[in-house]
Amino acid sequence: MVNDNEEVEALLEQWREPLGRDFPAYRNHVYRVINLSALQRELSDTELRQVIIAACFHDIAIWLDDTFDYLSPSRHHASAYLQRHGLDEWSGVVGEMIEQHHKITSYQANELVECFRRADWCDVTLGVMRSGIEKHHVRTIRKRFPNAGFHTFLLRRTLRELVTRPWRPLPMMRW
């Protein structure tokens, strides 16, 4: 289990102020997505790091750009990070993990992207959509990284979008 990763902690720490009171909620969501991704198949060191980076960035534009249409801006933040760290060649797969993580149907083009998508859906649905991940694993991960208000935040933000943009309350959803 990935419990305390230096890259995760450094990235999240730089966003502590914009995340504000949602910092522990997002931090724990990031770790849950990483661990739920890793449960689905054995990841190489490179793939694990790609998942770690994608998990850190996948929703971050909600806070950094104050938008609920956050997939492309989050991908842009991740691409800039990868470029600064000499990892441009990962922009494709990391970007696809971010862009496709709310896809409702499966993502056939890349198995790692699909694992990430299923991991996020598992977490967002509180383990209802487990995609083959055993219940006891989900419980163990949720116990280690409790919700800390993440789903309350999602509900509040969704209601805000519904009131302010009823014609498109969930712009991040993909088919």
CATH assignment of 6-164, among 3.90.550, 2.60.420, 1.10.3210, 4.10.240: 1.10.3210
Write the pLDDT tens digit of every residue in 67-112.
999 999 999 999 999 999 999 999 999 999 999 999 999 999 999 9
Beta bridge partner(s), residue 103 = 174
What are the residue ranges spanned by the domains of the chain?
6-164
The one-character DSSP state at 88 is: G
CB contact set of 117 (below 8 Å; sequence gap of 6+): 97, 100, 101, 102, 103, 106, 107
Chain-centre distance for alpha carbon 32: 9
Low-confidence ranges of the chain (pLDDT < 70): 175
Structural tokens at position 123? 């977490």
CA-closest candidate to residue 120, choices 154, 158, 168: 154
Tell me if the pTM is above 0.75: yes
The pLDDT mean for the chain works out to: 96
- H-only helix segments in 41-110: 45-57, 61-64, 71-84, 91-100
